[in-house]
Structure 1
Amino acid sequence: MTGKRRTTLTGLLLFSLGCGAAEHSTDVSARARLADATVAGESGRAASLLLRARMASRWNRQWSSLVEIDHVSSAWQDDHSDGRRLNGRPLIPDVPGTELNQLALRYRGAEIEVTLGRQRLEWDDQRFLGSDSFWQQDQTFDALALERPLLMSSRWQYLYIGRANRIFGRGRDLNPPESGYPSYPADGKPPGYYPDDYSLAGEHRHDSHLTRLELNEWDYTQLVLYGLAVDNRDQPSTSNHTLGARYRFSYQAHPLRYRLLLEVAAQERPGRPQPHYHLAELAVGYQSLEGLGRYEVLGSDQGEGFTTPLGSSYLFQGFAGVFAATPDDGVEDRSLRLNWRAHPWEVSVRHHWFSAQTDGRDYGREWNIEVQLKPARPQEIALRCANFQGESPYLPDQRRAYLDYRYNF
């Protein structure tokens, strides 16, 4: 079923509910961004503007719908690559265009909630499933989502995903490859400077099933069990079966706050190696300060790294995005972070040490600085900077900076 037919079907479902809606709410927002990047001595810059219009409707007690349309415009297009245009400049994937970001119909009953259509999906911290919404184009999914409450405070979720609408803009067909979109790194650029064509595709067809069980029956504790059967028809190399468990403990003993996060996952690809994933994170807070230590491993088995193709490519392993795709030898990320919050300011400083999971050789290190100012509810200003220093000729030095201004009308 094509994307157009899916959209038409959802539209007919909405129309069939009738025009006598009980409630409608609309929202319009804008996010302007200046971005600067230097990779292997090559500089790039971009300016972009996201305009988003959203309408949520409640038709009756059980039925509701959501429509969200995005328009992204950009400047300095010759000074960067964005995934549609690859011109030898650093990749800044804020792709211009107009997209139907969400179009979904929801039924909410006493024992189950069902959502059908194009929707934004985020599980936990978005490591395995997320919207990647730092970029101007969201990652959304054409999916069927089921959610059922369990016990006192727990829930079970199931997803069927038919299509991933990715940050590079929907509708781009890369089979066969288009002229000007090389499948291999540009001459003189290190391997990995550009991903392959299908990594930059705007859409991936799926026949994927995901399930998640969230248990919240104990004080201070949350346990999550999940299983992912990812079948990517357009990029089969990312297809996988993953089973994992996530444990979170939060406790406050005045004047200190404590948070512990542990996660493990095993991954299997039919007839191929079976890498593993490990995470340990400990945070201690005092008044407006919080210190955090994190150890994350995306393992490797026989030269194939652990993959998270439906998750965020920006929130983890540094703002420079050097390890958005896991290296063949896996990656260990040891990081320290200091957060400070005092309204309307939020400041975060992080340092990452990266190494290969297989033999421990040094990949490099990275500094991240994030400053957010929220002077009033409709406004937000954010500055994010990254400085990656590579220890391999295949991982060149990178410096990136993003300045955002968001306004909700």
Structure 2
Amino acid sequence: MPTIGSSLIALPLLMVALLASEPATSLEYNLDKHQFELGFRPRVAYVEGEEDARAASLLLRLDVRSHWRDDLSTLLEVDTVALGWEDEFSNGENFNGKPVIPDVGGIDLNQALVRYSASNRLQLSIGREAVNLGNERFVGTNSFWQNEQTLDMAGFNVDFASASNVSYRYVANANRISGDAAGKYLSPSDSNFEQNNGLRPAQFLGNHNHNTHLLFAEFKEWDYSRLQAYYLNIDIEEASALSNEALGLRYEFKGRLHKLRSLAHAEYAFQERPETNKGNLIHYYNIGAGFGYQSSEISLNIETLGEKYGTSFVTPLASLHDFNGWSDQFLITPKGGLRDYSMQYIWRKNPWKIDTRYHKFKADDNSTSYGREFDVDLSMNISGDSTLLLRYADFIADDDNYADERRIFLMYIYNL
């Protein structure tokens, strides 16, 4: 029986077929109405820790953007990922006792979307979409990995005032980075088969059925300030313990005084997790500030994913790799919560950019030290579409539940 998610994907394809059957006077098939784009990203990755791992992968992406009428457009995006050294890393789809590097192989319909512009300010959309809300802390594509997280959804976007907007999406399915082949049951050959009774852990499932509502508003009516507000009602069938209802507000400031740049942000949200801690609100804080001069920029930040009676704040739809260190130690918030004290230094000199970060991780409930991490990105902008990136992450554990680990990624990115 088809799921709600598969129905949402079938709808845009059916709409295009119906529109294509209309008289030629209503649609134009000129090639200039269709835009084709190719992007790719080869990557090698290495993990050194209690167990070592290495991975090689290549992402090929084809985009087809079509404007059928002034008010109607479609997007089709197909990804193909090829893997090397498959026996030398786990990836969420397959486990072999090696550390997880979550790049999976295969062909994937990454996006299939129909957009209808009901007016200059109102846009309706339905299908499979790569959704990034704000800084992606709560909803994002996790696009560092070769297989993105996309959402089967229906929704709208409304522009108002001079530069503000509000969007709403109903989500029926999350297509996660583990890929469609990461189903409910593990292969008997998987190293995790016995300890999980043959069932794949919920965080590694390739699909999560949802009954989720995402409401996000952004206000950009000021020269130096931006305000974002969001309400997220996330209901996940396969991982009900991660279901939550969150309400939050984020403020960002960027200013300049002569050659000195200043930046600051403050964010607060509270969350209820009805399946694990009903009736109790769990808090989230993110406060940071910094300044820049010429090629340099330095900032300090404190992020707290709070804890209440053994239940912590979670963000299951986030671009998780982008937060709390690039070694991915805290993809699931510890039961005691998480405080991430970090300092960032960025240096830019075309075509080079160096991004360094130092993290100190503690529990929120009792200030237990989890560990420290040093991260660095070295990137070279070869052209407007091409970037060479070296990423290094070094985590040093202070708690017996964690282990020292180093991760290195080297990749070339074209048109992604």
**TM-score, normalised by the number of residues in structure 2:** 0.92
Shift in Å, 1:217: 2.3
Change (3 A) 1:81 1:70: same
> Is residue 311 of structure 1 aligned with residue 318 of structure 2?
yes
| C-alpha contact (below 8 Å) 2:141/2:318 kept by paired residues | yes
Shift in Å, 1:216: 1.9
Unaligned runs of at least 5 residues, structure 2: 21-26
Partner letter of residue 357 of structure 1? Answer: D
> Is residue 10 of structure 1 aligned with residue 12 of structure 2?
yes
Shift in Å, 1:196: 6.3
**TM-score, normalised by the number of residues in structure 1:** 0.94
Equivalent of residue 328 in structure 1, options 329, 332, 335? 335
Q: Distance in 1 between matches of 2:7 and 2:166?
A: 29
Equivalent in the alignment of 1:347: 354
Change (3 A) 1:281 1:274: same
Equivalent of residue 20 in structure 1, options 28, 50, 54? 28
Between Structure 1 and Structure 2, how many residues are aligned?
399
Q: What pairs up with 1:195-234 in 2 under 5 angstroms? A: 197-234=201-238
Equivalent in the alignment of 1:268: 272
Equivalent in the alignment of 1:370: 377
| C-alpha contact (below 8 Å) 1:183/1:197 kept by paired residues | no
Partner letter of residue 223 of structure 2? Answer: D
Q: Distance in 2 between matches of 1:73 and 1:213?
A: 38
Shift in Å, 1:386: 0.4
Partner letter of residue 12 of structure 1? Answer: L
Equivalent in the alignment of 2:24: none
Q: What pairs up with 1:234-249 in 2 under 5 angstroms? A: 234-249=238-253
Shift in Å, 1:16: 1.8
| C-alpha contact (below 8 Å) 2:129/2:150 kept by paired residues | yes
Equivalent in the alignment of 1:164: 174
Q: Distance in 2 between matches of 1:44 and 1:219?
A: 47
| C-alpha contact (below 8 Å) 2:89/2:98 kept by paired residues | yes
> Is residue 121 of structure 1 aligned with residue 131 of structure 2?
yes
Equivalent in the alignment of 1:135: 145
Q: In the TM superposition, what whole-angstrom CA distance separates every residue of 1:101-127 from its partner, at most 9, and x where no partner exists?
A: 000000122231111100100011100
Shift in Å, 1:144: 1.1
Equivalent in the alignment of 2:69: 60
| C-alpha contact (below 8 Å) 1:177/1:197 kept by paired residues | no
1:12 aligned counterpart, secondary structure = helix
Q: In the TM superposition, what whole-angstrom CA distance separates every residue of 1:231-289 from its partner, at most 9, and x where no partner exists?
A: 10111011000000001111111111111110000001225343110000112111111
Q: Distance in 2 between matches of 1:347 and 1:154?
A: 32
| C-alpha contact (below 8 Å) 1:171/1:203 kept by paired residues | no
Q: Distance in 1 between matches of 2:86 and 2:181?
A: 20
Q: Distance in 2 between matches of 1:395 and 1:92?
A: 17
Change (3 A) 1:20 1:375: same
| C-alpha contact (below 8 Å) 2:268/2:286 kept by paired residues | yes
Q: In the TM superposition, what whole-angstrom CA distance separates every residue of 1:291-346 from its partner, at most 9, and x where no partner exists?
A: 01110000111111100001111001110000111000001000111101111111
> Is residue 257 of structure 1 aligned with residue 257 of structure 2?
no
1:386 aligned counterpart, secondary structure = strand
Q: Distance in 2 between matches of 1:243 and 1:88?
A: 39
> Is residue 290 of structure 1 aligned with residue 297 of structure 2?
yes
1:78 aligned counterpart, secondary structure = helix
| C-alpha contact (below 8 Å) 2:92/2:182 kept by paired residues | no
> Is residue 38 of structure 1 aligned with residue 45 of structure 2?
no
Q: Distance in 1 between matches of 2:115 and 2:142?
A: 23
Unaligned runs of at least 5 residues, structure 1: 187-194
